[in-house]
Structure 1
Amino acid sequence: MVEYNEFLWLAQSPDSEERGQAAYMAASAYLSHSGPADEHAALYAVLFRFLEDPSVKVRAALAYGLLHSAEAPRPIIMALLHDSGVIARAVLQYSPVLIDADIMPVVRQGEPDLLIAIGQRQTLSVRLVDALIARDHRQMTLKLLARADISIGSASIDRLVATQGTDAQMRGALLRRQDLPAGARLLLVQLAMEAMRGARIVKGAVAPERLNRLLRDSVDTAISAIGEREAINPSTGYAAELIASDRLNMRVLLHAMVTGHVMFFANCVAELSQSPRDKVFTVLEAGSRSAINALLVRCGMGPAMRDLLIKLIGHARAADLADDAAARHLVVTTLTESLIADHAGNIPEELEEAFAYLSEQNVALARKAAEGVMSAFAQEAGQRRMVVPDWDETLALPAA
């Protein structure tokens, strides 16, 4: 406890440190006051005296005492907002007294250090966030994108994707946001794939044809994985957007089933057939062959493609294609061999894209399944010898 005479002596001291101590004491006493009204009025009046002090230290001490309280006098806070830079930044970052209308003029015209202070406020409205992003301050935008506790307007997201999507760091920050719209996420993934395609280290390490296959497969996976995530909220219209933009093809549908993204597959079938989503789920989950066939007819698929998808759906019912890589490999192998046998090796034009996809997947899944098999076998086999025929020079490759 400090007597008012002692407080008055500190407030009138020629030492700015002592006046600062008095300013902080007055601010704290004002906020915690529960005594007579005249005492409260006197404390309120003395705050304005400290506000006029020529020392930044004193005004900073006053601000420090009031910064975090929603009960701080609004006129004092507004005056401190227009004080020296160090005080204004603190007020902008911490004071709960400020409302959007107080902060917006600073957002529109303020210096970068003030913008960064605003961006670090505990709570930010969508309006403020969008206005901050509109200032095109890169570091501040990255900090805002990294905050999972704030929302960003869809228009700002679309603008960032369109203008900053080729910036790897900005692209990564956008992709890490859980609220990123599905269409924007897919576009960023495609931009990332194009950047990877153009990277010298990638081009120099992977043959062009194989690189194209890898990137195409990655994009297909991204399309179906995003679709599976969006399937819980079909109102986003992700499947309809893919169809309208001509990005949904048979390869994507097959990939969705092969990778176990059955919810996305069902949404696509519902959109293509213009059938109720719940009905499509029921048919795909437990419907007869004729019921599935009728549904696929409504999607505009030919007989050969319908037959292939019906077989794939049957396999998907019996295996966990989302998590079981071995089951996925077995299903792809079975479908590939079935196509060759059913058409006596003469694959119809209608199925060429599907057959090419299955063949690519067969190789990729076989590569993955083969990893580590020999090393594991060698450890178990111990001293057993490998039977190898004598080397025949005529078998050597001419170009080797």
Structure 2
Amino acid sequence: MVEYNEFLWLAQSPDSEERGQAAYMAASAYLNHHGPADEHAALYAVLFRFLEDPSVKVRAALAYGLLHSAEAPRPIIMALLQDSGVIARAVLQYSPVLIDADMMPVVRQGEADLLIAISQRQKLSTRLVDALIGREHRQMTLKLLARTDLSIGAACLDRLVTAHGADAQMRGALLRRQDLPAGARLLLVQQAMEAMRGARIVKGAVAPERLNRLLRDSVDTAISAIGEREAINPGTGYAAELIASDRLNMRVLLHTMVTGHVMFFANCVAELSQSPRDKVFSVLEAGSRGTINALLVRCGMGPAMRELVIRLIGHARATDLADDAAARHLVVSTLTEGLIAEYGGVIPEELEEAFAYLSEQNVALARKAAEGVMSAFAQEAGERRMVALDWDEQVA
């Protein structure tokens, strides 16, 4: 406990260190005061005296005493906000007294060190975060994107994707955001695919045609996977956006079903047929063949394509296509062989794109299935060894 006379001696000391001690004690006494109102008022007046001290050490000690308290006097905090850089940065980073309106002028016109101090606050509103990102400070933006506790506006994220999607580090930070709009996420995936296509190590390791197939398949998977995640929130308009931009074709629709993203498939059918989403779900889940056919007619599909999609829906009802790669391979093989048998090897023009897609998937899924079989065989074989051949037999 410090006596009043000792405090007075410290407050009047020519040594700035001792006056700083007094300033800190005064701040603590003000915040923890529970006595008469006149005492509290006197302590309030003392704080202003230390605020006018010529030594930055004293004013810094005062700020340190008030910095983390929501009960700190607002006029004192606002005065400290206009003080030297080290004090202003501390106030901007820690003081809970400040509101958005206090910090927005600093965000709009302040130096980089002040912006960084604000960006490190424990809590930031979406408005402040968007304004900070708008200052185009790359490292600060990356740190804000990495903070999962912050909310960033959809329009701000869209602007970042448009302006910096070609930047691999920025692209990775954006893709890790759970609140990234679906259209922006798809655009980033496509940019990543193009970057991969242009990478020398990739071009040198994979034949051009196969690389094109792999990347196209990856983009199709991204479209349907993003759509499946967005399907839980039908108000996002992701499927409608794909249709409006001509990115939803029959290949994507088939891929959506083959990969088990049935909720997104239903959303697409609802948009194409202009039918209620819930009704489409019911028809796809348990509707008769005639009802499904009528729904696909409204989507603009021809007879041969409708028949193929109906068969695929039947397989999807009976099989878990989302998690079972072997089941996907079986379904795709069945559909491919069925088309060849039905049309005698002469595939109609209407089905050429769909047949080409199924053939590509048949090869890719066969490879995956073979990998799984070999892995399972290796585990079961244990210590068994293949019979060794002598040299003559090997040559033969």
- Give TM class, smaller chain: over 0.9
TM superposition shift of 1:380: 4.8
Give per-residue Cα distances to partners, 1:157-180, cap 9 Å, x unaligned: 121111101011111111111111
2-structure distance, mates of 1:167, 1:351: 39
Q: CA offsets, 1:86-145, max 9 Å, x none?
A: 111110011111111211111111111110111111222222112111110001111111
Separation (CA, whole Å) in 1 of partners of 2:163 and 2:384:
62
Partners of 2:260 and 2:282 in 1: CA distance: 17
Unaligned runs of 5+ in 1: 394-398
In the superposition, relative to structure 1, how do residues 379 and 125 fare at CA in structure 2: closer, same or farther (>3 Å)? closer
| CA spacing shift, 1:142–1:276, aligned 2, 3 Å | same
Change (3 A) 1:118 1:350: same
Q: Per-residue deviation at 1:377?
A: 3.4
**Correspondence 1:387 to 2:383:** no
5+ long unaligned stretches in structure 2: none
- Structure 1 6/385 Cα, relative in aligned 2: closer, same or farther at 3 Å? closer
Secondary structure of 1:372's counterpart equals helix
Q: How far off is 1:57 after superposition?
A: 1.8
- The Cα offsets for residues 212-247 of structure 1, whole Å up to 9 and x where unpaired, read as 111101100110011111111111111111111000
- Residue deviations 1:294-324, cap 9 Å, x none? 1111111011111111110000001110011
- For normalisation by structure 1, the TM-score amounts to 0.94
Going from structure 1 to structure 2, the CA distance change for 1:384 and 1:121 (only over 3 Å counts) comes to: closer
Structure 1 ranges of 4+ moved more than 4 A = 378-393
Change (3 A) 1:296 1:389: farther
Partners of 1:373 and 1:284 in 2: how far apart?
A: 33
Are residues 379 and 294 of structure 1, via their aligned partners in 2, closer, same or farther at CA, if it must alter by over 3 Å? Answer: closer
1:360 aligns with 2:354: no
Instruction: Report how far residue 375 of structure 1 moved.
Output: 5.9
Supply the RMSD in Å over aligned alpha carbons: 2.5
Partners of 2:34 and 2:302 in 1: CA distance: 82
More displaced stretch, 220-229 vs 34-43: 34-43
Q: CA deviation at 1:55?
A: 2.1
| Structure 1 residue 151 corresponds to structure 2 residue 154 | no
Aligned residue for 1:68, secondary structure, equals coil
Change (3 A) 1:348 1:178: same
- TM-superposed CA distance for 1:390, in Å, is 13
Matched residue, 1:323: 323
Q: Structure 1 pair 145/374, CA: closer, same or farther in 2 (3 Å)?
A: closer
The farther-off stretch of 226-235 and 383-392 is 383-392
Tell me what 2:136 maps to.
136
Percent identity, please. 90
1:355-384 per-position Cα deviation (integer Å, ceiling 9, x unaligned): 111111111111111126346536755798
Other structure's SS at 1:371 match = helix
After TM superposition, the score normalised by the length of structure 2 is 0.95
User: Taking structure 1 as reference, are residues 190 and 383 closer, same or farther at Cα in structure 2, changes over 3 Å only?
Assistant: closer
Provide the secondary structure at the position in 2 that maps to 1:392. helix
Cα distance, 1:384–1:68 mapped onto 2, change above 3 Å? closer
**In 1, Cα distance between the equivalents of 2:137 and 2:299?**
47
For residue 272 of structure 1, report the CA deviation from its aligned partner. Answer: 0.6
- Displacement after TM superposition at 1:153 (Å): 2.1
Q: How many residues align?
A: 395
- Change in 2 beyond 3 A, CA 1:328/1:392: farther
* 1:176-202 residue CA offsets vs partner (Å, 9 max, x unmatched): 111111111111111111111111111
CA distance in 2, matches of 1:138, 1:383: 56
Distance 1:390 1:24, change over 3 A: closer
